[in-house]
Amino acid sequence: MEPVQRQIADVGEAALVLLYKWPEADVTSRPHLTARKPALAALEGKGTHEAFRAAFIKAADRVEILAPGPDRPSVTLPGHVARPWARRLKR
């Protein structure tokens, strides 16, 4: 399946990628599981988007799907490329 480009515009879309479009081989990894809590908290309004974004990027880095873009990162997943909704954090 060819990847297609899709920009993630908000936390809801990023959560969908994390929860339903993530590479199967990594869904039980510590970074992926750790990213789920801030994802759900952000969706419920109990957490910050920044905390979720940081966890999302850490999980994406772990599976080497994070691809830098001109102003924000993108991730390459089977069937699509998703772009997180904010600028990449400084390391």
pLDDT bucket at 24, cuts 50 / 70 / 90: confident
pLDDT tens-digit series, residues 37-49: 999 999 999 999 9
Judge whether 82 lies within some domain: no
Tell me, yes or no, whether 52 lies in a domain. Answer: yes
**Domain span holding position 22:** 10-65
The reply to whether 74 falls in a domain is no
Q: Which of 65, 70, 36, 71 has the alpha carbon at shortest distance from 51?
A: 36
Residue 70 lies in a domain: no
Q: What tens digit of pLDDT does each residue of 44-90 get?
A: 999 999 999 889 888 888 877 765 665 555 666 655 444 444 444 44
Provide the domain count of the chain: 1
Q: Is residue 37 part of a domain?
A: yes
CB under 8 Å to 8, separation ≥6 — which residues? 14, 17, 82, 83, 84, 85
Q: What is the CA radius of gyration of the chain?
A: 12
Identify whether 30 is part of a domain: yes
Q: Does residue 47 form part of some domain?
A: yes
How far apart (Å, rounded) are the C-alpha atoms in residues 75 and 82?
5
